[in-house]
Homo-oligomer: A and B are copies of this chain.
Amino acid sequence: MANRPPLEFHVPEPPARPGQSASFSHLVVPEAGLVRRPDALASAAEMRDLPFELIRVLDGEGRAVGPWDPHLAPEFLRRGLRAMLLTRVFDDRLFRVHRQGKTSFYMKSTGEEAIGAAQSLVLEPQDMCFPTYRVMSWLHARGYPLVDMVHQIFSNARDPLRGRQLPILFSARDYGFYSLSGNLGTRYGHAVGWAMASAYRQTDSLALAYTGEGSTAEGDFHESLTFASVYRAPAILCITNNQWAISSFAGLAGTRDSTFAARAIGYGLPGLRVDGNDFLAVASATRWAAERARANKGATLIEFFTYRAAGHSTSDDPTRYRPGDEAEHWPLGDPIERLKQHLIALDEWDEDRHAALTSELEAEVRAALREGEAIGTLGRSKPPLSEMFEGVFAEPDWRLIEQRVEAGA
């Protein structure tokens, strides 16, 4: 005992903080196309190598390469591009709207648009996604009305959520988008329950769950994986590893010497690690997992490796905790740019069409905003006060009835 070095208390830190030079040298970014693609119905025990690879399809020249190339039709790719671009345009615009004091809160998906968009388009209408606030491209890909988003963000009289919920915490059942909430991690298990119900009722509705990499630390993540494994739930369990959780780097979620995808191994699930800024890789991995789930082989865990290019929300300034130019050093590029280059390389797109599409989407967003503002921004219009007392239960009890009277609603 006397000869031992003393114990050391270790507190991890990210590679760089403000004032230091941004660095992603700790990340190994393999070439596109190299990772093997096992049969989607193979045993999970035969895939324990995959969580330590990085599935990439788009190479540096915008070509789709390797066994994970999903061979998507150009039309499909253009729909994806549109959804991603719309998400970006909408986010930028609404972020400014918040700065103007027209609502209380906003969050952007900048740099992560490929994930929700590709998955939304690959999966089927009956499938249900259990979102985080960072996958709004799912809704944009499925054509959710922009003006309804705006009404919700303004909590105005037309708000589909009746003024009860924080901006962007949407619920859109008809668009396969489960009710969001501000607390992290809790809906992962709902997805598993939903998937089990699908199997029990044979409704063929897969569940797709999202969590941020930071939120994987919640106990709910583990309990969800356990249930998914035990009951072979037809679910796709996604981790969007965007490197940051507010000011905390991904290393704080406990994957030193490992990966988030590798969590799958201990549950006997396949774990895929996928370039989340590569629309084709996202689509392909999702399709593989969906095929597996629909064939009653159970759940797949997918880590999407991506980068949160903007701040966490309207409440923070990322230059206070990470180098200001970090985004520029991110080695996996921008998902919109990469899909655009691919389409151009395929000769299915060009800069002019891109510029035209951008203007078109900006106009759409402006029009939706105008319509929303005409009803009213936060505090200038709201649903009837009676809505505060509705929906607590299926039917209000005497307390709500009395209080509604007391509140003059």
Contacts and interface: CB of A to CB of B under 8 A. Distances in A.
Interface of A: 1, 4-12, 43-45, 48, 51, 124, 196, 198-200, 202-204, 217-223, 225-227, 229-232, 234, 251-260, 262-268, 294-296, 298
Contacts of A258: 44-45, 265-268
Contacts of A5: 295-296
Residue of A7, A203, A268, A295 with highest tally of chain B CB at under 10 A? A7
Contact of A223 (B48, B196, B219, B226): B219
Nearest to A258: B268
A110 B325 CA distance: 61
Contacts of A44: 257-258
Contact of A9 (B199, B204, B229): B199
Nearest to A270: B257
Nearest to A295: B5
Contacts of A43: 257
A161 B218 CA distance: 34
Given A219-B223, A222-B222, A265-B262, A12 B230 contact: yes
A220 to B, nearest CB: 6
Contact of A254 (B51, B217, B259, B268): B268
A1 B221 contact: no
7 contacts: A4-B204, A9-B200, A9-B231, A221-B222, A222-B222, A260-B266, A265-B265
A125 to B, nearest CB: 10
Nearest to A256: B268
A203 B232 CA distance: 45
Contacts of A263: 266-267
A45 B222 contact: no
Q: Which 4 A-B pairs have the closest CB atoms?
A: A219-B219, A257-B268, A222-B222, A263-B266
Contacts of A227: 254
A253 B228 CA distance: 11
A124 B294 contact: no
A395 to B, nearest CB: 32
Nearest to A301: B266
A227 B218 CA distance: 11
A252 B226 CA distance: 8
B217 A226 contact: yes
B253 A10 contact: no
A44 B198 CA distance: 39
Given A4-B204, A257-B268, 18 more contacts: A5-B295, A6-B202, A7-B202, A7-B204, A7-B296, A8-B296, A9-B196, A10-B199, A43-B257, A44-B257, A217-B222, A217-B223, A219-B223, A222-B223, A230-B251, A258-B265, A258-B266, A260-B266
Contact of A267 (B45, B255, B298): B255
Contact of A266 (B7, B8, B198, B266): B266
